[in-house]
Structure 1
Amino acid sequence: MESKLKPLELVAIPVLLALLNLGNWANAVPQVPCYFIFGDSLSDNGNNNKLVTSAKVNYSPYGIDFPQRPTGRFSNGRTMHDFIVKLLGFEDYMPPFTESEGKNILNGVNYASGAAGIRDETGQHRGGRFPLTEQIKNHKTIISRITALMGNDSAAKSHLSRCIYSVQIGSNDYINNYFKPELYNTSQRYAPPEYATVLVQQLSDQLKTLYDSGARKFAVYGLGLIGCTPDARSVYGTEGAPCVVKLNEGATPFNERLKPLLDQLNRNLTDAKFTFLNPSGSAAGLVADSSCCQTGGGGGELCLPNSKPCDNRNQYVFWDGVHPSDAWNELVAKSAYGSEKPEEAQPFNIQKLALQ
């Protein structure tokens, strides 16, 4: 049948549909009710600000590309998890535990802490920090507050069981523990494969503690290429290689043990879902062998306070000596959220984890 609509009306229909879809998007409900973040400086958004520690960055030029400027994020802009919560449909970023209050905690909380590790002693030479064990204790405090807000245990348990628990930690157990033999004895006690086994076993216990507290959806990250950071290349030298081989090879057994652990947890805890995510991606087209800011702050790897960073920040993988830029965080977040590649997300990405 020939259409009797006039040309302007034909144009108006897709425009009207687009406006209706935009309205639906603006009022969209997040794909999960809340998102909890456990980890280290890759995820910290201000928990270390009030601690006596060299692992904090609440100063310029950190946050130069973030609306609130320096917040304690170890980046020029957003963290990977800032991007992920937006992809999940949240209107606001998750507040740091140290600043969490009111009903906002129902949407999630960020417990991550710079220099923190799976092991309690990791990073202690940097000063104050919240190891993963303490982060989990802080989560139990939040659970009590959520239970009070929701009025009863069953409502709180139902709410928490549908949330995503992101756990990205372990790098400091190598760069601020195992590979500092002058400060820690772990490298004398364990060969790299043994150390990885010890770490993954402790992480397993910590994940089970979260499970016992009501967590059911886990996004667990492997370690990135810790020997490829500008700081590692500068401190250790590469002997002509693109990265520090001993750091990358030392940490490789961690990922090799983490994947089977998550498979085992999926088999044993059948009402929970665990997925492995790979934070390493392709740096094609980006500057990956140097940092954007002038380093020398903190332990030497952080930006110097009030220094002037590079102008083309969206072309750099690394913002400072070890932490990625806003641009790189966005790339890795999109991979974690939507990748169909098993080497990047296994058995499913965050978008599919939300649907479990």
Structure 2
Amino acid sequence: MEKQNLTFLVSSCCFFLLLLSEMQGVQGSSSHHHRHRHHEHRAVYGFHPKELFVFGDSYADTGNSPKNASSWEVPYGITFPGKPDGRYSDGRILTDFLAKYLGLKSPIPYRFRKYAPNRLKYGMNFAYGGTGVFNTLVNSPNMSTQIDFFQNLMDESVYKKTELEGSLSLVTVSGNDYSTYLAEGGTTQGFPSFIARVVNQIAVNLKRIHDMGVRTVAVAAIEPLGCLPEFTFLNSFKQCNATVNTVSTLHNTLLQQAVAKLNIESKDSGAFIILDLNDAFTAVLNGIDTTVKFETPILEPCCLGTTSILGCGSVDAKGEKLYTVCDNPKAAFFWDATHPTQAGWQVVFSELKSQFDRS
């Protein structure tokens, strides 16, 4: 989720919940590329991933977005690495925590692949902030194009299919398709069928990544959209928007069906797995996870625009800041209108990692 206006109201909770019950399925090597590792790799479903390949949006992007994106502006990156570096947070994000858990260095962003060839052995990050499975930003790579980039590297023998049997893929879809749908005049009546189209394409993408040789593909369920600050600011960050959360419910229900179908077809129950971001976010936001206590009202972002909820990092014509930043980002769950802080991602991943512990 990026600086796109996702502010919308779905016609009613009942409308989507009814459709939930009615919709039962988803339609429709180079010399520098050494394979030696000095890390202790964590087992995932009985194997130890040696490479991580990442596709998706800003929840996974560690530097692919262009230099005019907010992720390259102050105050992004103030916690890590101390300056903006392309991550949509004050510090580390989901990709980083997953890589560390696996005993890997965070995979290098695709745009920087030629500058650090020694990092290719850990995999690669193709995720690009603001994108979706369909076109959401002009001249930006949607997920199919990101996978094309991966295929090009395989065609160049940077990665070989036989070598990918020890790899894991992370795929994130965080809502940009839905904001774009509404911004382009999509109706609430057509929303459920569009959600099904999005999930159908996710399924196509997951299968394609697996068919390219990646052993296990982990796809993130969509977060509770109605709990993002860009919605909760309407009630002074006091509570989530239950109506908007029905979009997440429908998306995740269809995603579960799609992934189950893919596993049946692949005859491998561990080929495709869901990282339940929705449950993880909910557990933290509702105080179910008590390992960390956030001091800031949990729905309120640390970095808040003074003229717009989406204004973190913005300045006026004179270069004066049009945002405020909380005193202690470690005490806040949300960084800006749509993204968690490093501390937020850390506690979310503590909820998620149990899903990798099955072996």
**CA distance 1:99–1:148, shift in 2 (3 Å):** closer
Alignment-derived partner of residue 274 in structure 1 = 272
SS in 1 for 2:134: coil
Superposition map of 1:205-244 within 5 A: 205-234=204-233, 237-238=234-235, 242-244=239-241
Q: Could you say which structure has the greater relative contact order, defined with CA pairs below 8 angstroms and 6 or more residues apart?
A: 2
Shift of 1:301: 4.6
Alignment-derived partner of residue 25 in structure 2 = none
Alignment-derived partner of residue 15 in structure 1 = none
Residue identity opposite 2:284 in structure 1: S
Alignment-derived partner of residue 34 in structure 1 = 51
Structure possessing the higher radius of gyration over alpha carbons: 1
Alignment-derived partner of residue 185 in structure 2 = 185
In the alignment, the residues of structure 1 paired with residue 205 and residue 308 of structure 2 have an alpha-carbon distance, to the nearest angstrom, of: 29
Q: Match for 1:290 among 284, 300, 303?
A: 300
**CA distance 1:69–1:184, shift in 2 (3 Å):** same
Residue identity opposite 1:39 in structure 2: G
SS in 1 for 2:125: coil
Q: Is the 8 A contact 1:33 1:159 kept in 2?
A: no
Shift of 1:28: 3.0
In the alignment, the residues of structure 2 paired with residue 28 and residue 216 of structure 1 have an alpha-carbon distance, to the nearest angstrom, of: 19
Instruction: Mark the runs of 5 or more structure 2 residues left unpaired by the alignment.
Output: 1-36, 42-47, 288-292, 316-320
Q: What is the number of equivalent residue pairs in this alignment? A: 296
**CA distance 1:196–1:238, shift in 2 (3 Å):** farther
Identity %: 27
Q: Is the 8 A contact 1:170 1:223 kept in 2?
A: yes
Alignment-derived partner of residue 106 in structure 1 = 121
Superposition map of 1:1-356 within 5 A: 27-30=38-41, 31-50=48-67, 55-67=69-81, 69-90=83-104, 92-101=105-114, 102-120=117-135, 122=136, 124=137, 127-145=138-156, 147-148=157-158, 156-174=160-178, 176-178=179-181, 180=182, 183-187=183-187, 191-234=190-233, 237-238=234-235, 242-271=239-268, 273-279=271-277, 280=281, 281-283=283-285, 284=287, 285-286=293-294, 287-295=297-305, 300-304=310-314, 309-337=325-353, 339=354, 349-352=355-358
Residue identity opposite 2:274 in structure 1: F
SS in 1 for 2:333: strand
Alignment-derived partner of residue 6 in structure 2 = none
Q: Is the 8 A contact 1:59 1:70 kept in 2?
A: yes
Q: Is the 8 A contact 2:284 2:347 kept in 1?
A: no
Structure 1 window deviating more from structure 2 (313-322 vs 242-251): it is 242-251
SS in 2 for 1:276: strand
Residue identity opposite 2:330 in structure 1: N
Shift of 1:244: 2.1
The TM-score with structure 2 as length reference comes to 0.75
Residue identity opposite 2:342 in structure 1: D
Shift of 1:170: 4.0
In the alignment, the residues of structure 1 paired with residue 194 and residue 334 of structure 2 have an alpha-carbon distance, to the nearest angstrom, of: 28
Residue identity opposite 2:276 in structure 1: N
Q: Is the 8 A contact 2:232 2:238 kept in 1?
A: no
Q: Is the 8 A contact 2:284 2:348 kept in 1?
A: no
In the alignment, the residues of structure 2 paired with residue 297 and residue 238 of structure 1 have an alpha-carbon distance, to the nearest angstrom, of: 17
What do you get for the CA RMSD once the two structures are aligned? 2.6
In the alignment, the residues of structure 2 paired with residue 148 and residue 41 of structure 1 have an alpha-carbon distance, to the nearest angstrom, of: 25
The runs of at least 4 consecutive aligned structure 1 residues that moved more than 6 Å come to none
Shift of 1:140: 1.2
Residue identity opposite 2:170 in structure 1: S
Instruction: Mark the runs of 5 or more structure 1 residues left unpaired by the alignment.
Output: 1-25, 150-155, 340-348
Q: Is the 8 A contact 2:209 2:217 kept in 1?
A: no
